[in-house]
Amino acid sequence: MIEKTQVENFLRANGVPVTAPDEEIRSILLSASFDENEVNTALLILKENIVSNETHIDTLHKVFRSDNRLKPSEINSLLGISVNFSDNDIYHSTVEKRGTNIKNTIIIFLFVVGFVFLGLFIMMYIDQMGPFYVAD
């Protein structure tokens, strides 16, 4: 995990103050071959208050520019509404959706197999083959 002192030392070594705008810090970190997720994490760590461990969120960046989920506390601080969910809730809803897809796939597979056998029996009847063979 990236620590705040590491990010501060890296920025100081590149001549950028810690209080610089996010876009300037982002450009320095990206030019140093940081991954996009690492840059986002570093910016979030720079905004963290060490005393209270409270994180100030750059709302436009966190909400619109990343695929990370917001924690319930972050949603509460942004919107002022209390939300109660956990990662387990999200995991279970994903598993339930996956289960439905498997069930639908099995039903479709059985329908296709039945359709193929029906077509096969129709062709055997038309050509008078197999059980439909009539001996003259």
Averaged over successive runs of 10 residues, the pLDDT of the chain (136 residues) comes to 81 87 87 86 74 53 68 73 69 58 90 97 93 84
127, amino acid identity: D
Q: Report the distance separating Cα 56 and Cα 45, nearest Å.
A: 9
pLDDT at 110: 97
Please, what is the Cα angle at 19 between 68 and 3, to 5 degrees?
Answer: 50
pLDDT at 40: 85
pTM exceeds 0.85:
no
pLDDT at 106: 92
pLDDT at 32: 87
pLDDT at 49: 56
Domain ranges of the chain: 4-79, 87-132
pLDDT at 54: 52
Q: How far is CA 48 from CA 78, 96, 106, 131, in A?
A: 15, 36, 50, 79
pLDDT at 50: 55
Q: Report the distance separating Cα 14 and Cα 105, nearest Å.
A: 55
DSSP single-letter state for residue 65: S
